[in-house]
Structure 1
Amino acid sequence: MTSFQDVQAAATEFARGFNHNYYRPLQVAALKGDWETAKKFFNNDPTATTAKVTTLAMTALHVGAIGGQWQFVEKMAQHMPKEALAVQDLAGCTALHYVAMGGNTKAAKALVTKNPSLTQITNLAGLSPLIYAITSTNCKDLVWYLTLVTTDENPGFPFSGSSAGYLVALLTAAGFHDITLYLLQQHHNLAIVTDDNGSYILNVLSKMPAEFPSGSKLGFFERCIYQFVPVDLDHSPLSNLTDINQPELQSKTYMAQGFQSYFGSLRWKGIERLVPGIKEVRDRKLRHKSAVRLVDYVCSKALTRNSAEFWQSFVSANILRNATSSGIVEILRICFDYFPDLIWNYIPNEGYIVHVAIKSRQEKVFSLICNMPICKNFILVVDESENTTSHLAANLAPSAQLADISGSALQMQKELQWFKEVEKLDHPLHREVKNKNGKTAWELFKEEHKDLLERGEKWMKDTSNSCMLVATLIATVVFAAAFTVPGGNNSDKGIPIFLNDNAFMVFAISDALALFSSITSLWMFLSILTASYAEEDFLKRLPQRLILGLAFLFFAIATTMIAFGATLSIVLRDRFQWVYIPITLLASLPVTLFAMLQLPLFIQMIRSTYGTSIYHPQSLW
């Protein structure tokens, strides 16, 4: 492979005999896309169309492609001979390399149509235009186009040469799993290419949890859309390439997808234009389905290599560790399905897979592995530092895991839940086992979570103090309102004048409910301030009190606004009969705003406190 210094030396040598002043007007015209000026230059000097006009031995076509002047590139392609399109600069790049870097499909089509061999030419680093399109742009249409028109021929052999593994790794990292699947079906050798870290494809995917359903974080409405939106994995999504008039390419497209799938795709594209968010969910689901099928396809091809040594290098310890620490259940499930012996794999300095899952707090992987009887043996293993499995669970979770949980108190609760769940599966005798540092698992937990405990206590007290202020204000207001009722009282007996009015009854009931609920909320928050704040208090006691306090506070706010609305209706209805409409709308605003701001935290606390256990046994086979 030629180094940068070699290219620089070649450029220096080439520059000695290069007439810069002569070609400068043509170079500037190409950078600007000024075809008229360039055409005049070509008329005066016809050899300039193929001449090298820069010190890096680039033609005007190269310069136009680097400048992103796509119309200029198309016109140059028409005026240049077929062989001249394949001219390489000192870095070994043709104009198609730079067009691929710029991401323009139409310009690429103009070059490839005239000289189809351009797609096979690699630069000095062994990289084809297809690789340039993947690494330098996010234009999937161009990647699809170059994939379909690139053949595994001289001089570069893009799909079987030295850069083949790099190609599939880049495609996978870019999330173009459907394109990768298409290539693997055409060139079976790409499925089993490996390096020192194992399979190129599995190694990349094991670091990309967002490409799988288990690692996807969807909102409520996104999850609803995700379940129903269809995806077609046997469909090459080339609808955006309809402007490319290439019969053989269109034939491949229609044969791949079928007419029914094609028209179904058009129907969903119409829906996506009306609701743009659907396209994002649909694209994500396509990536998820494609990634799972890609893993399955790669493992199935590896299985044809009847060699245990190959399997061990193909699904390396690095891949298993990455997939486990990233929580990618799909990769582990498929790998164990094809290669069951991998379950015994011991990862150096990490332990068995269940130990990696515990350290990285991957609940789904933990539930998958622990459903197997053999896992009980793994859990009883003590490492070199005499740490039991409970000791591993006692360590503080990675910061990335804690960041997904809002509030230090809820983080502490999650840590306790995880420790208690692992402790249930561990042997009872291990609770008193001390590691090399002389600490039991619970002692280690308290030491590791000392700072988090302090932050959780502060968070609880700050939240309670803020909510107590609101609850006190509501209690004061509604208490005073009970003795200054709307319309006043009868001077003889002190009975409210509007006692028999329905609106007044609404006021009285809602005012009483607001007072009772605000006082109850106040006591809940006060009990939080006076709690002992031991570690185990964060498991149930403190979260339950906070949930009750927030629930009663929300109810107090809602009933206070109802009482206020009923009072305004009584006072103003004789003048404005429609007054209850704006009153209702305005009263709903603060209640809705409070719900929107606090409801996510409230729901998260309920799910964390009263939800299902962390451990959900899953069937592996």
Structure 2
Amino acid sequence: MSSVESSLLTDFDHVKAAVTEFARGFNHSYYQPLHLAILNGDWESTKAFIDNDPTALTAKVTILGRNALHVAAVGAQWKLVEKLVQHMPANTVAELDLMGCTCLHYVAMGESVNAAKALVAKNPSVTQVTDFKGFTPLIYSITSTNCKEMVWYLVLNTTDERPGCPFSGPSSSHLVALLTAAGFHDITMHLLQHYPNLATISDSNGSIILNVLSKLPSHFQSGHKLGFWKTCIYHCVPVELESGNTIWNALQILVPSIKLIRDTKLRDVYAVKLVEFVSSQASTMNDNQFWQSFVSADIIFSATSSGIVELLTICFRFFPDLIWTHIPNEGYVAQIAIKNRQEKVFSLLCKMPIICKLLVLALDESQNTTSHLAARFAFQTKTISGAAFQMQRELQWFKEVEKLDHPLHKEVKNQDGKTAWQVFKQEHKELLEEGKNWIKDTSNSCMLVATLIATIAFAAAITVPGGNNQDKGIPIFLKDTTFMIFVVSDALALFSSMASLLVFLAILNARFAEEDFVVALPERLILGLASLFIAVVTTMVAFGAALSMLVKERVKWAPIPIALLACVPIALFTQLQLSLFIEMMKSTYGSHFSYIRK
């Protein structure tokens, strides 16, 4: 539970004292049947009790001073809430229990918008009633992020009136913090457009909205790691769905994952709009001291270390001097981005070449250059498949940062008396060994398969299907087209498997130095896997062709199931190895750090 959410709970000592006082004259045994009937959702028993004693409709029926409506709401009996409210006087709907809450406070934490509508229809002012801490039902609705519809309904039916003044009073800081943390950025934007004062609410940590957003990288596009198809859908799906856009509306119903991706994009778009609006409002205030504390160093640090490049881009545009923010024991923005492997943030800085060069030249408190920082091991690279490619990514990052650093910094020693390259070797000693073992294990496994295929392909070449003519030694099926498919595929299987075998043998005999993990070893591994894949495919083709020649005279349709069955191991091999192969290609030949060189 967050500090904001925990603040919703009323002080226990206060409640205990009130309950003790109320309990002195409370007839618990009399109201217990009604209490249990409501909690069980038994409308017949509830109605019978109220018909027998009409005063029970408005009476306090629990030791916590709750009436029948309170009990139904706390028990999530929404249908009973809708039925009871029809018989309740309007003023009873707005009554507080000893916890300081109306029935709507509890309904707001659920998902029944119909129950909330029934209460508001009975007493429209109930949305303005506050608990003992001055919180309206709207704030209670945001503590549960499951029902955005409830939040929207209460936002549209709550005004900035006394006694709560939810959009300008003391509780407004809780409101924007909860809304932002819940990811309801479109609702927050709606409120900010009607109540611009909410945009510049701040505390000791600076802007409340920006502070919360700086800790939520998943609320921005830069924080997503979607697969290929999800990325395509993300870029295609519209943020706003008009009533006439039947295609996307239908797709959302048929494929629920599309709705999730659209909701994600909606949140991302409005998060950027929110940062834009907040920064714009703050920049118009003619108070230099205000906006320097409004976008605090903590916000810049959180956004940089989390890689929220959108937030930083907007903040630097409105407040250019923020780029020179220095965090004690962490350094400038460039140093923080390098230490945390935030490539997109570093790319943003590289678009400002002079500023970037000045930031890169800075030394930290331990006399570390930026190359020293890039040399440190980053644990987040563990998300990359295979220790060898983790090592490759680490080397690529180090080399690219080193190119931007001053040439003399290559030999500069830090407080521990080590150059950047020495730091890299020490920090990555364990990863180097893991990468070496990973490549060797992979190569040994692939060599075994390649050897097996080569043996089978060679044996098949000298014992062709159907045998040879006894007089001339010519294969019996030589003039058959299927036989030619067999010969070609068998030859390709032999040649590609032998090539794969030789490549993997070369890998096992490599020196495995740090620099070899950048290009040399990955290229060999890519070549070996590609050759092995060709060998597997051509072996299956050769086997299918051979089997078809032997049985097609008797079973004409035999080649069809044979071909389908031959596709099974090929598809399995592709599914298991293709993602790794593509990742190898991207990691070796992709442009991960090309933006640094631009």
- With normalisation by structure 2, the TM-score equals 0.96
In the other structure, the counterpart of 1:221 is 229
In the other structure, the counterpart of 1:153 is 161
Give secondary structure in 2 for the equivalent of 1:593: helix
> Is it true that 1:409 corresponds to 2:417 in the alignment?
no
Q: Do 1:489 and 1:497's aligned partners in 2 also have CA atoms closer than 8 Å?
A: yes
| 1:295 aligned to which of 240, 259, 275 | 275
In the other structure, the counterpart of 1:41 is 49
The structure showing larger relative contact order (alpha-carbon pairs under 8 Å, at least 6 residues apart) is 1
Residues 374 and 137 of structure 1: CA distance in aligned 2, closer, same or farther (over 3 Å): closer
State how far apart, in whole Å, the 1-side matches of 2:140 and 2:507 are: 60
State how far apart, in whole Å, the 1-side matches of 2:145 and 2:419 are: 53
In the other structure, the counterpart of 2:359 is 378
In the other structure, the counterpart of 2:69 is 61
Q: Deviations over 1:393-415 (max 9, x none)?
A: 01111x3x223211111111100
Q: Do 2:400 and 2:596's aligned partners in 1 also have CA atoms closer than 8 Å?
A: no
> Is it true that 1:272 corresponds to 2:244 in the alignment?
no
C-alpha displacement at 1:95, in angstroms? Answer: 0.6
In the other structure, the counterpart of 2:134 is 126
C-alpha displacement at 1:266, in angstroms? Answer: 5.5
Q: Deviations over 1:281-308 (max 9, x none)?
A: 2222111111111110111111121111
Q: Do 1:103 and 1:133's aligned partners in 2 also have CA atoms closer than 8 Å?
A: no
State how far apart, in whole Å, the 1-side matches of 2:211 and 2:538 are: 57
Q: Which shows bigger deviation, 537-546 or 125-134? A: 125-134
State how far apart, in whole Å, the 1-side matches of 2:442 and 2:288 are: 58
Quote the RMSD (CA, aligned, Å).
Answer: 1.6
In the other structure, the counterpart of 2:3 is none
Residues 473 and 609 of structure 1: CA distance in aligned 2, closer, same or farther (over 3 Å): same
> Is it true that 1:342 corresponds to 2:350 in the alignment?
no
Instruction: Extract unaligned runs of 5+ from structure 1.
Output: 233-260
Q: Which shows bigger deviation, 25-34 or 553-562? A: 25-34
> Is it true that 1:113 corresponds to 2:113 in the alignment?
no
| 1:176 aligned to which of 163, 169, 184 | 184
> Is it true that 1:365 corresponds to 2:338 in the alignment?
no
C-alpha displacement at 1:122, in angstroms? Answer: 2.2
Q: Do 1:368 and 1:617's aligned partners in 2 also have CA atoms closer than 8 Å?
A: no
In the other structure, the counterpart of 1:255 is none
Q: Deviations over 1:484-521 (max 9, x none)?
A: 10000122232211112211111111111101111111
Matching residue's letter, 2:326: Y
> Is it true that 1:356 corresponds to 2:364 in the alignment?
no
C-alpha displacement at 1:170, in angstroms? Answer: 1.2
Q: Do 1:212 and 1:291's aligned partners in 2 also have CA atoms closer than 8 Å?
A: yes
C-alpha displacement at 1:528, in angstroms? Answer: 1.6
State how far apart, in whole Å, the 2-side matches of 1:296 and 1:126 are: 30
> Is it true that 1:593 corresponds to 2:593 in the alignment?
no
In the other structure, the counterpart of 1:464 is 443
Give secondary structure in 1 for the equivalent of 2:155: helix
State how far apart, in whole Å, the 2-side matches of 1:608 and 1:459 are: 16
In the other structure, the counterpart of 1:549 is 528
C-alpha displacement at 1:463, in angstroms? Answer: 1.0
1:599-618 paired onto structure 2 within 5 Å: 599-616=578-595
In the other structure, the counterpart of 1:534 is 513
State how far apart, in whole Å, the 2-side matches of 1:406 and 1:126 are: 52
Q: Deviations over 1:177-215 (max 9, x none)?
A: 111100111111111111111111111111112211212
Q: Do 2:466 and 2:477's aligned partners in 1 also have CA atoms closer than 8 Å?
A: yes
Matching residue's letter, 2:132: L
Matching residue's letter, 1:61: L
| 2:475 aligned to which of 461, 475, 496 | 496
Instruction: Extract unaligned runs of 5+ from structure 2.
Output: 1-6
In the other structure, the counterpart of 2:504 is 525
Give secondary structure in 2 for the equivalent of 1:102: coil
Residues 279 and 34 of structure 1: CA distance in aligned 2, closer, same or farther (over 3 Å): same
| 1:448 aligned to which of 427, 442, 451 | 427
State how far apart, in whole Å, the 2-side matches of 1:497 and 1:277 are: 57
State how far apart, in whole Å, the 1-side matches of 2:252 and 2:217 are: 26
> Is it true that 1:577 corresponds to 2:556 in the alignment?
yes
State how far apart, in whole Å, the 2-side matches of 1:618 and 1:20 are: 77
C-alpha displacement at 1:615, in angstroms? Answer: 4.1
In the other structure, the counterpart of 2:97 is 89
Q: Do 2:523 and 2:588's aligned partners in 1 also have CA atoms closer than 8 Å?
A: yes
In the other structure, the counterpart of 2:542 is 563
State how far apart, in whole Å, the 2-side matches of 1:617 and 1:471 are: 40
> Is it true that 1:283 corresponds to 2:291 in the alignment?
no
State how far apart, in whole Å, the 1-side matches of 2:265 and 2:256 are: 15
State how far apart, in whole Å, the 2-side matches of 1:532 and 1:163 are: 65
Q: Deviations over 1:35-64 (max 9, x none)?
A: 222222222322211111111111111111
> Is it true that 1:424 corresponds to 2:403 in the alignment?
yes
State how far apart, in whole Å, the 1-side matches of 2:406 and 2:596 are: 19
In the other structure, the counterpart of 1:203 is 211
Q: Deviations over 1:69-99 (max 9, x none)?
A: 1111111111111111111111211111111
State how far apart, in whole Å, the 1-side matches of 2:575 and 2:166 are: 54
In the other structure, the counterpart of 1:240 is none
State how far apart, in whole Å, the 2-side matches of 1:514 and 1:594 are: 15
> Is it true that 1:392 corresponds to 2:373 in the alignment?
yes
Residues 193 and 54 of structure 1: CA distance in aligned 2, closer, same or farther (over 3 Å): same
In the other structure, the counterpart of 1:190 is 198
Q: Deviations over 1:339-364 (max 9, x none)?
A: 11111111222111111100110111
Q: Do 1:354 and 1:370's aligned partners in 2 also have CA atoms closer than 8 Å?
A: no
Q: Do 2:230 and 2:261's aligned partners in 1 also have CA atoms closer than 8 Å?
A: yes
Q: Do 1:57 and 1:90's aligned partners in 2 also have CA atoms closer than 8 Å?
A: yes
State how far apart, in whole Å, the 2-side matches of 1:471 and 1:288 are: 48
State how far apart, in whole Å, the 2-side matches of 1:285 and 1:136 are: 21
Q: Do 2:329 and 2:365's aligned partners in 1 also have CA atoms closer than 8 Å?
A: no
C-alpha displacement at 1:542, in angstroms? Answer: 0.9
Give secondary structure in 2 for the equivalent of 1:264: coil
Q: Do 2:129 and 2:164's aligned partners in 1 also have CA atoms closer than 8 Å?
A: yes
C-alpha displacement at 1:136, in angstroms? Answer: 2.4
- With normalisation by structure 1, the TM-score equals 0.92
Q: Do 1:350 and 1:356's aligned partners in 2 also have CA atoms closer than 8 Å?
A: yes
In the other structure, the counterpart of 2:37 is 29
Q: Do 1:371 and 1:618's aligned partners in 2 also have CA atoms closer than 8 Å?
A: no
State how far apart, in whole Å, the 2-side matches of 1:327 and 1:347 are: 16
State how far apart, in whole Å, the 2-side matches of 1:118 and 1:301 are: 32
C-alpha displacement at 1:598, in angstroms? Answer: 0.5
Give secondary structure in 2 for the equivalent of 1:156: coil
Give secondary structure in 2 for the equivalent of 1:499: coil
Q: Do 2:522 and 2:584's aligned partners in 1 also have CA atoms closer than 8 Å?
A: yes
In the other structure, the counterpart of 1:243 is none
C-alpha displacement at 1:125, in angstroms? Answer: 3.4
Matching residue's letter, 1:374: I
In the other structure, the counterpart of 1:319 is 299
State how far apart, in whole Å, the 2-side matches of 1:381 and 1:315 are: 23
In the comparison of the two structures, how many residue pairs are matched?
A: 589
Q: Deviations over 1:533-564 (max 9, x none)?
A: 11111111111111011000000000000100
State how far apart, in whole Å, the 2-side matches of 1:378 and 1:456 are: 33
Matching residue's letter, 2:283: L
C-alpha displacement at 1:137, in angstroms? Answer: 4.3
In the other structure, the counterpart of 1:481 is 460
